[in-house]
Each structure stands twice: as C-alpha cells, then as structure tokens.
Chain A
C-alpha cells in the first residue's frame, strides 16, 4: 500500500468495525445525556435517525489523524535526534539524512463526539485509540533543527479502537509503504 496521506482511518477500516458493539457502546454513552436536556431538544425519530447517521459518519473524522504526524511527534522527543537541534554542530544550510532502523512507537488517542443540545455540551461519546507502530525503514531529513521530511518509509500498525470502554476493533494493518516523501510543512522543530 502506497499512500502519502495515510491516516488512522486506514488502520481501522470502516468495514471491519463491529457494528453491534458500536451501537451498544454509543447507546451507553447516549444514555448518560440527561433526559431533561434531550427533551429540551424536542427531537423526533427522524431527527435521531439523522443524528445517528452523522455520528457514525463522524467516527471517520475522529480518525482523521495522519499517521506520519504521530510518528514525527514521537521522533522529535527521542534523545537520538536532540543533537540536530545544536545549530553549531548542524548549522543552517546543512541537510542530515538519517536512516531509520526498525523500531516501535506507541500512541494513545482519546477523541470523542460531543453532543451539544441548545448550544450547551450535554454529553460525550468517548473513543479510545491505541496504536503500536512498527517502523520498518525510512530516511528522516533534518535541516536547521527541524524534521523536514520522511522518505522511503515502511511501517505496520496494530491498533485497538474502543468506544465507551467497548472494543470495536483490534486490527493489524498491512504494511504501509511511502515511496514518495512526506513533507512536514516548514518542519517540526526538535526541542533542545
């Protein structure tokens, strides 16, 4: 699979979601919305049908996090890369190409769908995403103390998606291959 815009949606394909579990978990979260607040909205069944459809559609939005962004956030913390923040050792105009060895990055995300009734937040449908990324290869391009690009990278991700404590999907992705460079805008600064 070659895609420079791989997001967490690719790790958790929609068609693999356990629908009854999603329904039950979302239902459990909806139950916590105060009845008075729900009644305030004077909602009809057709309305809730529409709202539910949109809530399901929003799961994809919750997973709209580029995988490369997760990786670079982890790399910039690693002691190995701190040296590139040293402007004397690595002066501006000098480009470092760092070949990556196989390594692991873990990440936890807690996105949620907020239910707003009458302009007031009345409840949440909480989700939890845990990732274990195996970076198999790649070259990191570092310049002026910033991670600029990731080139020729390969990674595999295993992850768990849960809603309100209920596991919706445990999945191991196929190998993602980025033949093209992934550019991190103006670069991700490496903290000194």
Chain B
C-alpha cells in the first residue's frame, strides 16, 4: 500500500465522522409487557405456584378432577402453556385427585320401602321409580340402575323399577285398552335432584372448587335412564297421561357440537373442547347378515310340490 492509498483512506474516514456523530441511539419503546404461560402439566401444586410466581403470574382457581393416575398433579391449566398474558394474570389449575367409588348395594328382590332404607343407609339417594309388569311379585324391586355391586360415586342416585300387576291390556293384546292405574309405589315420589349426574360442583371455603365427576360408567348409565325419562326415547302412549313429573331440562354443560354422519353410519360427538377434540365417537357398524335357506325347501312354483 502506497502512501497515497493511506492518505485516501484517512480522508474518507474523516469525511464520515460528522455522519456518525449525528446518529442517536434511542431506547426501545415498551408497548405492553407480556409473559408466556409455562407448561405446568404433571407439576405439583407447590411447584406450579412457584413457577407462576417466578414469572409474575398468579395462581388462580384450583379445580380438583378425579383421575385414574397419581393424585395431586396438574392435569391441565387455563390459559394453556405458551399463551402470552399480562403479568399478574391468574392461571386456573386443574389437579388430579383419586377416584372414590363406592359399591351400590343390591336392592333387587327387596320391597320398595326396604330398598329406600338400604340405599339411604349406604349413602345413596333414590332416583326415579318406575314399574315393570310382573304379576308374581307386585311391589318388589325387580331392576336397579346402577346395578348392585357397581362401583360408582356416592352422589349417584339409584333408579328403581318395581314390579306391578299386569293390566288387562298387557295380558291380552286383543282385549280392549284399559288405562292402567299406577300402584302407589310406581308414582315418582322423588324429584330428581340431578345436579351431580357425572359431575358436581361443591364450593368449599372460598374460591376453591371441587369438580368431581361421579364416574363415567355410573354416570353414563344413570344418564341413559335420565335420557329415557326425559322422553328422548319416548313413544306415544295410548294408556293415558304419564304419572311422572314433567321432565327436567338437561344440565347445562360445555358447548356441544353434534356431527351425525348418516351416510357412513357413524355419529361423532364433539364437546367443542380443542383439548379433547378427539373425544368419544360412537360408530354404528352394520352387519348385512348371514341369510340361510333350507336347500330342500320348495321355493319356486315351477318345482313339484
């Protein structure tokens, strides 16, 4: 490099100096501070609260959910992980708690009065009472749902079917229709207090909320019964007005989106909850059958009898 080159570079640097001096560095303007919610799944309550505190987030409502897995762990939280929220935002934690199932005593073959006592002493409520024709044992409980020895939540109401005498119309289909008068036992005496069919909410000391599913199996069975009672399977009856009380509206729940697919013989039930979008699907599988015909049978007029 010659002296001339050194001189040219020095001149150029000196010429740029005033421009550099005019540049001012401004601190970045804070528009809004936000914090990303951490993943708290499988954390204990203490660990989750500490993690939230470190990020200047608040521990919100704590909801206990019966789960088959280990108790005391966060199973889900709201807002979910990765959500940007302002500091101080409360995060609702859902913690697992052990399933507590109780065996239902069998009251089949007991009188209705005795069945009531047995169920009450076992901590169960009597739900709806209906009747079934059985002339041999009128007044005796012939069916119960949940079944005897089923393991269900103690909050479940037990529906009972009591045998009744067969009316003339039932005994002889050709006989004139007789409006059956229900026996005193068959009248629904207990209005269904179904705040807890499968799920219940009991506030315990302040904001802590206990959300206890009463067991899907028992709840499902009871709901099937409830469903039948609500008239979803109902058929028009020619035997006079029902002795039952008017149907209660179904319990409020999360938004439901029913997607029947008649063409494929399937129906998908989606709760609208993204976390459980796979949900439960009921699929009707049709069987075209195995028809059989006696090969020695005469089936055409052309054959000799």
Contacts and interface: CB of A to CB of B under 8 A. Distances in A.
Contacts of B220: 27, 30, 38, 48, 51-52
A71 B293 CA distance: 9
B216 A38 contact: yes
B292 A41 contact: no
B233 A17 contact: yes
B185 interface: no
A153 to B, nearest CB: 13
Contacts of B132: 20
Interface stretch (A85-93, A98-106, A173-181, A184-192): A98-106
A101 B216 contact: no
Given A20-B143, A65-B286, A69-B288, A50 B297 contact: no
Given A101-B299, A106-B293, A116-B281, 8 more contacts: A19-B233, A20-B228, A41-B216, A103-B297, A103-B298, A106-B292, A107-B290, A131-B289
Contacts of B273: 42
Interface in B197-247: 197-199, 213, 215-217, 219-221, 223-228, 232-233, 235-236
Interface stretch (B9-17, B82-90, B258-266): B258-266
A110 interface: yes
B281 A31 contact: no
B301 A100 contact: yes
Interface residues of B, number: 74
14 contacts: A20-B161, A22-B233, A43-B198, A44-B199, A46-B251, A47-B269, A50-B269, A58-B265, A69-B288, A77-B293, A101-B301, A111-B287, A129-B289, A131-B289
B45 interface: no
Contacts of A118: 278
Nearest to B132: A20
A30 B280 CA distance: 13
A44 to B, nearest CB: 5
Interface in A56-92: 56-58, 61-62, 64-65, 69-71, 73-75, 77-80
B250 A49 contact: yes
B294 interface: yes
A75 B299 CA distance: 9
A50 B217 contact: no
Scoring B150, B279, B298 by chain A CB atoms within 10 A of each residue's CB, the highest score goes to B279
B265 A74 contact: no
A78 B295 contact: yes
B286 A53 contact: no
Contact of A45 (B217, B253, B267, B293): B253
Nearest to B250: A49
B299 A100 contact: yes
Contacts of A42: 65, 273, 275-276
A47 B271 contact: yes
B104 to A, nearest CB: 12
B100 interface: no
A39 B280 contact: no
B197 to A, nearest CB: 5
Contacts of A78: 293, 295, 297, 299
Dominant secondary structure of chain A at its interface with chain B: helix
B19 interface: no
Interface of A: 14-17, 19-20, 22-24, 26-28, 30-31, 33, 35-36, 38-39, 41-58, 61-62, 64-65, 69-71, 73-75, 77-80, 98-101, 103-119, 129, 131, 135
B274 interface: no
A114 B285 contact: yes
A101 B298 contact: yes
Contacts of A115: 280-282
Contact of B145 (A24, A39, A56, A73): A24
A42 B278 CA distance: 11
B67 A39 contact: yes
A70 B252 contact: no
Contacts of B199: 44-45
Nearest to A54: B267
Contacts of A61: 262, 265, 284, 286
Contacts of B267: 54, 57-58
B283 interface: yes
